Structure 1
Amino acid sequence: MLSYWKNGIQNSLCGILLMSLVLVGCRDRNAKKEPGSENVSTMKEQAENTDFTLALLNALFYEEDFESSLKSELQLSKQQISGLKEAASTAVEKLSEEDEPSSKSFKESIKQATTEIVRILGDQKAAQFFHFITARYADEKNTLPLEPNHIPEDTRIIVNAPAFRMDIFQQGKLIKTYNIAIGYPEFPLPTGIRKATNIIFNPTWTPPDEPWVKGKVSPGEKVPAGSKLNPLGPIKIPIGMPSLIHGGKDVSKLGAFASHGCVGLTDLQVQDFTKFLSQVSGSPISAEKIAAYENKDTKTETVKLKQPVLVELRYETIVAEDGSLHIFRDVYERGTNTIENATRVLDKYNIKLESLSEQERRSLTEALEEMNQDARGNKIAGSDDPGSASAGDSAEERAADRENRKDKGQVTRKVIGQKEIVVTISALKGKGYPLPVAYNTGK
């Protein structure tokens, strides 16, 4: 759901689709060029390598100073801003949460956003717009590790979206793992490093004026804590810009898509997570105290953590774990399941691809090919091959199916096919990212 902001304080639910550090890809931060000086084709290519969609643009207009910044910093006219608002709002209005899957891929949504922004603003202003977004949301102090499957030495939360997994590390030691729900592919969980600074018990919710509210409540009318119509559950933890980790999810949603850009847990999970988060922050809250807060479920209370805890949002579809490579479905269509990326992971452990047995190489190649599909079963990297446009269907059949479902616009609710394939690699025995610890599956 989209979040409203009032007086700089988060006032509603998780659903805002946030800008990730992937947006840094819009521009080389060390480049000397003036904003807007790039070749427009280069700008389009860079923009299409980001996570920027019209749904995200619609969310950004909920930020209190976003529109005024477009006027003051980019000198956009009222007509240009109105054009951006209309394009973003129209795109969001076509999305719903019905059972039928979306007919538009995430990459198509990104290209649509780029095309519309160039159409509305023109080449130069569009380039300046993407520079503005990068400068506004990138944090050079908190960037993701460059090496794959990095194991932290400090205290932090690590969320790996395609694995539907969240880990708590304390001084480099994994102490707890959770099975989670993540954002729909149309509203993906961002990547980057954030911070958890507060735990909010019994949060209220201010519903946005968006299609998914569907008349259950009035947009802008605060839904009190404890209400059955409040989707946030008993606890929310803001993790910056303004994504959340929060409860309120049914156990059936774990390991699935269930939010507009947040990490979702069941109520019991978020209570457990709160206990561990407060512990590693140096300000422990007992299970009894958590229960006491929730007994007053109509009273919202905020507890400030003694030490902020880093929250690292990753997107890794190839993960080494004690004797195997786990290949996860590329649910957000980022083209990550390639032999080049698998080689990078192996190289980290001083294992050369050529040194694998013939069976290991064959199994790895087959797993990458099988997992090189988005959540809807569409081929991703290498999709220029006419025969690889679908999972099970011919390219013509897939194209016809998309045309039949064109403009329906429902969000993607589930992964078609396998979510994960495990490939045994003997040389990885005893190496890799830690196995889950005290795994909380929500069941």
Structure 2
Amino acid sequence: MKKYSLHALTITAFICLGLFAGCNNQQKKEPQKKLQKARTKTTDIATPQQAALTLPVLDALFYEPGFASSLKSTIGLTPAQIGRLKAAAHTSLRDLNEDGTADTSSARTATRAYEAQIEKIIGKDKAQQLLQLVNDSYSKGVEGLAPTKPNAVPGDTRIVVNAPAFRMDVFEGGKLIKTYRVGIGYPEFPLPTGMRRADTIIFNPAWTPPDEPWVKGKFHVGRRVLASNELNPLGRVKIPIGMPSLIHGGKPLSKIGDFASHGCVGLTNSQVLDFATTLARLGGAALSATDLQGFEQHKNDTRSIKLLTRVPIDLRYETIVAGDSCLHIYRDVYERGTNTIESAKRILANAGVGYDKLSEQEKTGLDSALLEMNKDARGNAIATDSLTAARDQVPDAKIARAKKGKVTSRVKGDKQVDVPITALRGKGYPEPVNLDTGVLPGEKNQKQPHVVKHHSKSHARSRGRK
């Protein structure tokens, strides 16, 4: 395997659990004046059109053939600038700490620190052009397959991953047949958005730690780690979906449901084997129970299965999702300023529900949910534009501290608030089907994440509550 692929594939996905509880949890109340203020204040906020770029992600992209040359030909960087940019991206991994301890850092602060370094090397205008280049090259949709509106329900066969919901859905012929709880990338290594394709399933993948500053501890540069080794971070299966991401196994159940990856979608080994079987069938590849048994018996033998038909992978970042009788509001984990009243109005309109037709109780519940899910780890309102507002709001002292580096390993606070909306009954994006949480039969389930539910008075009465 080529070196650039090794690097990208070994920046593995230590991932988070999805939150798919229904609309029946306890209510969290907010003062009426505070909610009304939030409703007025957030109306003017526009949703960002592109994600931020971090140096750790840029480091992975430098391993792709042609990327460095594109910086020269497309945005006019000099060889000296490219060299300094590459060195800074490489060095950015050195101090990132993944000790798993509680962390309340802000994705916005970390992102601004990386942006400041990039701007210092190539200037503000070139930094913006670099961001645009990366978004155009690595997040663009596959022609004819990219969603044309939020919460789009596929009419074809594809895999849909919604990062803020920690959810991966398998659609076959437009029908949802399976849902997995997954984990997503740390804010320093965000899961990208856009259309990708899967064409290969690799069983028992080996891993060779590259000569990178983040390779330390039990790993040795250049010493191959076989699939049978429990330290192999790729697990039983890896599925390349385009630089710099994978869908792969090897994640302990404790990692499913929180930040735990370097830009990949991660599953437990039991989940990824189940998913690989389904993906093989959707792609027209032969994969029998006997084959799987053979892979299990010979864990040191890496085997690849080529799909006859490539399966689209639809990577999304949707923090507001209209479901059946409920509007799901997910925490804006990458702090992109998506949880606003205007965004909610657009989502409702796409589902055929007018915001003005909502009851006052429903509006109040929606306001409260948006207010809660629009906070960062420190409880501050999230900046709405990672390239402008974040630049003005993050003090230089915080940027300096962020340069020392620590992976944001946990999502702080509730990750989901559900708001019952009567007019959504029978509409919206489908609820989970055959949900796989990663818990094996007979295993003790881990503590489920708390999902807040806002009830209107009419809903409370219908459920027999006082």
Band of TM-score, shorter chain: 0.7 to 0.9
SS of residue in 1 equivalent to 2:436: coil
Query: Aligned ranges for residues 34-433 of structure 1 at < 5 Å?
Result: 49-70=50-71, 76-100=77-101, 105-122=106-123, 125-126=126-127, 129-130=130-131, 132-134=133-135, 136-137=137-138, 139=140, 141-142=142-143, 144-374=146-376, 377-381=379-383, 407-433=403-429
Alpha carbons 1:48, 1:111 under 8 Å: kept: no
Cα-to-partner distance string for 1:115-139 (whole Å, 9 max, x where unaligned):
3333323456546545554554354
SS of residue in 2 equivalent to 1:422: strand
Moved more, 405-414 or 129-138: 129-138
Q: Normalising by structure 2, report the TM-score.
A: 0.77
Residues of 2 paired with 1:164 and 1:134: CA distance?
22
Sequence identity percentage: 51
Moved more, 143-152 or 75-84: 75-84
Residues of 2 paired with 1:47 and 1:428: CA distance?
26
Residues of 2 paired with 1:80 and 1:438: CA distance?
51
Report the CA distance shift for 1:103/1:197 in structure 2 as closer, same or farther (over 3 A).
Answer: same
Alpha carbons 2:12, 2:261 under 8 Å: kept: no
Structure 1 outlier segments of 4+, above 6 Å: 401-405
Q: Which amino acid aligns with 1:428?
A: L
Moved more, 226-235 or 135-144: 135-144
Moved more, 225-234 or 165-174: 225-234
Report the CA distance shift for 1:418/1:79 in structure 2 as closer, same or farther (over 3 A).
Answer: same
Residues of 2 paired with 1:366 and 1:285: CA distance?
48
Report the CA distance shift for 1:210/1:309 in structure 2 as closer, same or farther (over 3 A).
Answer: same
Alpha carbons 1:104, 1:409 under 8 Å: kept: no
Cα-to-partner distance string for 1:165-188 (whole Å, 9 max, x where unaligned):
101000000000001111111111
Matched length: 399
Alpha carbons 2:12, 2:233 under 8 Å: kept: no
Alpha carbons 1:14, 1:242 under 8 Å: kept: no
Return the offset for 1:353.
1.1
Alpha carbons 2:91, 2:213 under 8 Å: kept: no
Q: Normalising by structure 1, report the TM-score.
A: 0.81
Residues of 2 paired with 1:408 and 1:165: CA distance?
32
SS of residue in 1 equivalent to 2:335: coil
Residues of 2 paired with 1:382 and 1:149: CA distance?
21
Residues of 1 paired with 2:294 and 2:71: CA distance?
45
Alpha carbons 1:159, 1:313 under 8 Å: kept: yes
Alpha carbons 2:159, 2:313 under 8 Å: kept: yes
Return the offset for 1:369.
0.3
Moved more, 55-64 or 114-123: 114-123
Report the CA distance shift for 1:230/1:140 in structure 2 as closer, same or farther (over 3 A).
Answer: closer
**Structure 2 match to 1:13:** 9
Cα-to-partner distance string for 1:402-428 (whole Å, 9 max, x where unaligned):
699755522112221111111111111
Q: Which amino acid aligns with 2:331?
A: R
Return the offset for 1:88.
1.8
Return the offset for 1:149.
1.0
Alpha carbons 2:6, 2:210 under 8 Å: kept: no
Residues of 1 paired with 2:228 and 2:378: CA distance?
35
Alpha carbons 2:8, 2:244 under 8 Å: kept: no
Q: Which amino acid aligns with 1:338?
A: T
Report the CA distance shift for 1:138/1:315 in structure 2 as closer, same or farther (over 3 A).
Answer: closer
- Note the residue ranges of structure 1 that are not aligned, 5 or more in a row: 18-45, 384-388, 390-397
Report the CA distance shift for 1:70/1:310 in structure 2 as closer, same or farther (over 3 A).
Answer: same
Q: Which amino acid aligns with 1:356?
A: L
Residues of 2 paired with 1:349 and 1:13: CA distance?
38
Q: Which amino acid aligns with 1:442?
A: G
Return the offset for 1:357.
0.9
Q: Which amino acid aligns with 1:429?
A: R
Alpha carbons 1:55, 1:88 under 8 Å: kept: yes
Report the CA distance shift for 1:325/1:75 in structure 2 as closer, same or farther (over 3 A).
Answer: closer
Report the CA distance shift for 1:377/1:184 in structure 2 as closer, same or farther (over 3 A).
Answer: farther
Moved more, 431-440 or 287-296: 287-296
Higher relative contact order (CA 8 A, sep 6+): 2
Do structure 1's residue 434 and structure 2's residue 435 form an aligned pair? no
Q: Which amino acid aligns with 2:376?
A: D
Return the offset for 1:14.
4.5
Alpha carbons 1:247, 1:266 under 8 Å: kept: yes
Report the CA distance shift for 1:378/1:188 in structure 2 as closer, same or farther (over 3 A).
Answer: farther
Return the offset for 1:374.
3.3
Residues of 1 paired with 2:129 and 2:433: CA distance?
46
Q: How much is the aligned-residue C-alpha RMSD, in angstroms?
A: 3.2
Moved more, 103-112 or 256-265: 103-112
Alpha carbons 2:105, 2:408 under 8 Å: kept: no
Residues of 2 paired with 1:91 and 1:262: CA distance?
19
Report the CA distance shift for 1:311/1:199 in structure 2 as closer, same or farther (over 3 A).
Answer: same
